[in-house]
Structure 1
């Protein structure tokens, strides 16, 4: 099973250090969150820079809020990054839940799920080289991966899990193993129902902080600020894994559920965590 690093969002200037250290370690993927009304870096721009500074790591959005973006431009951006990285882009997509993110883009939050489905039909068509339609031709470049970059969908509700089978290549779970197992099985059931070949790729995400007390405190504060809008920030922070044994246990638990990859998501800024986590995995 592969293990990736979810990058902290508090200071974009540190991310090159994180990426280079991860590229020299045992990790498979670099992941980056997406929000609009927040101080995080824009993920496609940031991951393009990080892809250029690394040689083998996949770069993954966790998750890109596709309904907030223009579909034709997103198709071109994703295909460009996929082509220029030799197929290292993994496009994790979701619908988002913040009112302010939707407010500033003028997107009706109530339609975000339907909009994502409509976007996927267009994205798949464009990535296959077909015309946009309505008198507009194809939008290139052609992605490195036939049919477009690998697409994972994040979410918790049945429509999100079904979307994996209809449009995606796999599922990105931000739930604990006790909850994720049921969602994995639901995704696999939808996959069979839609007659998809093979198996969906399963990727799990766990929140971690590894290091001295100040590193853990930094991570907890950043994580609390990020999740305040949910009303469940305290509960989210309580689930932060802060010891090697906890992290190893989570990786093992997800492996037992059939996960293909576990993303160790970091909120604390100390890049020495990359080396500490390398020792764990």
Structure 2
């Protein structure tokens, strides 16, 4: 199982220099990918620009957009951004897509929140046509630039429940799941559901299976940092629910994080994404040491 590391872009201590310093360190370390997510009405840096910077200063790791909320955007623009990123990365781009869950982001971008699940299916179909070189409308030129990867990068689905997973099985190359608690049973259940849905859809390939969790290591009080980060990140759910979910986040020690990674590997994950709760360089150093020491 490969292990990727996300940038700590949602952490409150993210600084102007964090993107480049972390991306370079991740590229030089034992990680498989550097990833960034999308969120609009928050303090984080924008996803596409950040991924572009990562692509420019790395040579080895995959550049992972995890996760692109497609129903918020026009597909020709997304296609152009994907082509640009794949060129900058020399064909190292990977993309996970989904519907998100933050109505304020949709409102901020003047996109309807309702009907987003059905639009995602339509968005992916359109995006694939554009990445294959078809023009956005009759008489138009194709959207450029062309991807280095023929037909575009692998597209994973941020699907969670059975209904979303069945829809994703029609068009996705795999799944990109997440378990805030790093729960072994939750990760295994999601992977099995994906395999079952792929088989039901008549797919002849096994889905690429990615999962992840929040973590904190190396700081003065990693458990406190992890809880505070998770509650703040989930604040859009309301204070009570955010605190309740944050209480389940537990990957704040070497022992627990290794336990989570072992369970993810046993569950069949091809890659596991570690999402830092802090931009403290000590967190980066600690997780690099942990991953490098794994068999």
Q: Is the 8 A contact 2:261 2:272 kept in 1?
A: yes
Choose which of 178, 185, 189 in structure 1 pairs with 2:192. 185
Aligned pair in 2 of structure 1 residues 270, 159: CA closer, same or farther (>3 Å)? same
- SS of the equivalent of 2:151 reads coil
Partner in structure 1 of residue 70 of structure 2: 66
Partner in structure 2 of residue 234 of structure 1: 243
- SS of the equivalent of 2:58 reads coil
Displacement, 1:206? 1.2
Q: Is the 8 A contact 1:251 1:262 kept in 2?
A: yes
Choose which of 215, 220, 225 in structure 2 pairs with 1:208. 215
Partner in structure 2 of residue 3 of structure 1: 3
Q: Is the 8 A contact 1:219 1:269 kept in 2?
A: no
RMSD: 1.7
Q: Taking structure 1 as the reference length, what is the TM-score of the superposition? A: 0.94
Displacement, 1:277? 1.0
Provide the C-alpha distance between the structure 2 equivalents of 1:45 and 1:18, rounded to a whole number of angstroms: 15
Per-residue deviation, residues 24-66 of structure 1 (Å, max 9, x unmatched) = 1100111112111111111111011011111111111221111
Instruction: Check if 1:86 corresponds to 2:90.
Output: yes
Q: Taking structure 2 as the reference length, what is the TM-score of the superposition? A: 0.90
Provide the C-alpha distance between the structure 2 equivalents of 1:194 and 1:17, rounded to a whole number of angstroms: 43
Displacement, 1:136? 2.5
Per-residue deviation, residues 186-218 of structure 1 (Å, max 9, x unmatched) = 211221233323211101111110013345434
- SS of the equivalent of 1:213 reads coil
Aligned pair in 2 of structure 1 residues 15, 240: CA closer, same or farther (>3 Å)? farther
Partner in structure 1 of residue 47 of structure 2: 43
Displacement, 1:12? 4.8
- Unaligned runs of 5+ residues in structure 2 are none
Provide the C-alpha distance between the structure 2 equivalents of 1:240 and 1:266, rounded to a whole number of angstroms: 13
Partner in structure 1 of residue 261 of structure 2: 251
Aligned pair in 2 of structure 1 residues 240, 273: CA closer, same or farther (>3 Å)? same
Q: Which 10-residue stretch deviates more, 261-270 or 5-14?
A: 5-14
Per-residue deviation, residues 135-180 of structure 1 (Å, max 9, x unmatched) = 3232122211122111111132223212332221110111232122
Per-residue deviation, residues 212-268 of structure 1 (Å, max 9, x unmatched) = 334543443232111011243223322131111111111110111110011111021
| Number of aligned residues | 281
Provide the C-alpha distance between the structure 1 equivalents of 2:203 and 2:150, rounded to a whole number of angstroms: 17
Provide the C-alpha distance between the structure 1 equivalents of 2:167 and 2:91, rounded to a whole number of angstroms: 22
Choose which of 14, 21, 34 in structure 1 pairs with 2:38. 34
Partner in structure 2 of residue 134 of structure 1: 138
